[in-house]
Structure 1
Amino acid sequence: MSLSRRRMVAGLGALAAGPVLADPLIVPPGVAPERLARDEPFWAAVARQFRVSAEFVNLENGYYGIMPEPVRRAYHRNVDHLNEVSSYLLRTTYKAQADQVRQRIAALLGVAMEEIALTRGGTEALQNLIAGYRGLRPGDAVMYADLDYHSAQYAMNWLRDRRTVRVERLVIPEPATRRAVLDTYAQALRERPGVKLLLLSHMNNRTGLVLPVKQITALARAHGVDVIVDAAHSWGQLDFTIADLDAEFAAFSLHKWMGAPLGSGFLYIRQDRLADVDRVFADETYPPQDIRSRVHSGTMDVAPILTVGAALDFHDALGAARKQARLRYLRDRWVHQVRDVPGVEILTPEDPAMYGAITAFRVSGRTSEADNLAITDHLMSRHRIFTVRRGGVSAGDCVRVTPALFTSADDVDRLALALRDLATSRPMVDA
């Protein structure tokens, strides 16, 4: 059964009715992040900073992140201001304001502002890096894994005809232990000597697995392979800097776990590697030595970019370590309640360094698209829990579960009960 349009419209209509608290966020000092992660009254106060539908439990927060109220209000002000002053803003103060955003992003990542270029999202950033990479010659190869982002895979496949290169694909093993993942990449790099460019997801959007990027990058570098890191899902969800990834090229989203408006992201190119990525369509708006020449989005809606500062304020007030601890706690809470349920397979390991909020599960023997759509429909229609089916995993489709900062312990407990019900309701799932 598919979610009916009437039900979805009714749910969206309920957004305006949700209670909202605009009080400043007060974080208790001196409390370890792991301890604060279990403080439900504190996280209830955080949840009141978000305007969320009460019609269902939203556990599909990987697509994009709901803006907290201070950010939503700042965005509305910026939309109104842009509409009022129009091109005057774009021709006067916008570039300086955008540079302030770049400077704040750079400071959080531990890099220089000159290594950051703003984009409309992580996808655009990835496409520009992949399409613009200059280190390929006819007969070379590029490589990605089954769990990498589909749009990035398409861009890598596009290189086959445009650059006359081979496309290699590897499969990340299940169970995906740290050792198994490192061995898989080491073997692939060793056995495919023609590879010159590797796409590497810090946290993939299918199962939520977090890879040991720094170690894999070192393996690639030893084989003369450059790496483009997809960090769209990890930044704001995990606590890290560029140094922790040892990345030279990376793509980020701001409208996922940083809570900025839709249409905001950026790419990173280490300053001494800028010449290895072409200007977009020979862009002459900026000189070749300016990273901003690696992005050309035309006349875009700048209100999301102007709102990034408010999103970073909220992120700073809460703190990356606290966000990471809370999201891992919510993941652990539901996963540990269902690990003993027969037929329910959890697709991320128990190593905390290899997951954040996102985790996928699979019901044994239910690996098709139809099977997993039936599972997500069952969870929504019977339990009012919204999840999403994910394909592209070599071992079979799965269901992705993604709590957010506004998710309560009761919400994930409800999911755990629903999965136990699911295990005894196979005829309904099969229908």
Structure 2
Amino acid sequence: MKLQIEKMVYGGAGLAHPTEGKGAAGAVFVPFTLPGELVEARLTEKKSAHEEASLLNVLSASEDRTTPGCKHFGECGGCHYQHANYTAQVNVKTAILQDTLEHVGLTVLPKIQPRVGEQWGYRNRTRLRVEEIEGTLRVGYNQRGSNQFLAIQECPILAPLLWHAAEALLTIGADNSTVGRWARTMSEAEFFTTADEKKLQMSVFIQKKNQPGFSQFCDSMKQHVPELTGAGSSLIPPKSPQRQVQKPRPLEDWGAKGLTYQTTREDYWVGRGNFFQVNRFLVEQLITIVTEGRRGQLAWDLYAGVGLFSKQLAKEFQQVVAVEAAGTDLTNSFRGPGKLAVEATTVEFLRNAVVQRERPELIVMDPPRAGVGAEVCSFLARIAAPEIIYVSCDPITLARDLKMLAQAGYNIVELHLVDLFPQTFHLETVVILRR
């Protein structure tokens, strides 16, 4: 069928409405298209609210269409927008954010301010699948739309050191020595580097325990990648019949258990495997948007992670309370006068704060993709801090939460789209709310 692409939707596809034939008037999502394009597509799947189609041919291309920067684009599940020039990608994300917020009734909005950086080589972390194919060790990701392994030869959104480490792993795995045989036992490998690519952490995952040779493997990796400062191995448990997701079980350590991630403002200790913002070029701009010009007596940093915002806020507030459920790194590093690290869930912390009738001047929150939810929003409404800064990586859950906060008397005064994930449909938003 021929389709005119009207706009992009969150998830990476273009939206069209067929004008004739089967499915007329229903919404159809077509990946790898751009607004204004006339395309030929084939229906592939019917969902409850829309149908999905695969792109067969672009009959009339957008001026924004460009040549993808990676040979695996389209087949790999990682990137979604490499067929669009970068300016168009940012415009698409801005429109999606605007539409998503307006869809829930948030129509009085400030102009969205896009914040951008380098579009390639930005990722400071990757997790690769490792498989032996016809006697050769390969690394890769999932094929688009499936769990099938896709061996890759490049990944241009990674910091160069990460791909260099992946190539070193393959070089070692090609050897028939003890170290090479150990490399071939792993099923996944994760690499994390500092912004300047001077330090590297490695996590490897195996499916069978009692595999000797991990330390020798790390020594060999260090010879190929001198930036490697530490590594750990973990056992991935077999899938249970109940399909319960079980966490990998740590086995062995080698070297340092984390690294110090330096910015021009602060140093952050990031334990191996712990969360840190993935874009090595925009971390400092994100900190600036959230903390610049803010000062006072008391600030709370909820879902604080390693203290990305807490440490900067502590320079201007008399007391900063940083709250993190997995707070081992935070409690070890966020210490001293005016600094309090609380290892608790945000719900637990706020429930107690409501009882104690505590009221900070500023609340910063950077939740995971699921957002903060109704219970947290109800507590925030009762606490009624003068200013809330909401950092979100999912516009759908953000819109849901912002509507509840708006009903509680908060106004959205600033909207920043921080493009931490170029070439993909993912986007980061910073929202400034005041009462």
TM-score using structure 2 length? 0.34
* Greater relative CO (CA pairs within 8 A, separation 6+): 1
Which has a greater percent of strand?
A: 2
TM-score using structure 1 length? 0.34
Which has a greater percent of helix?
A: 1
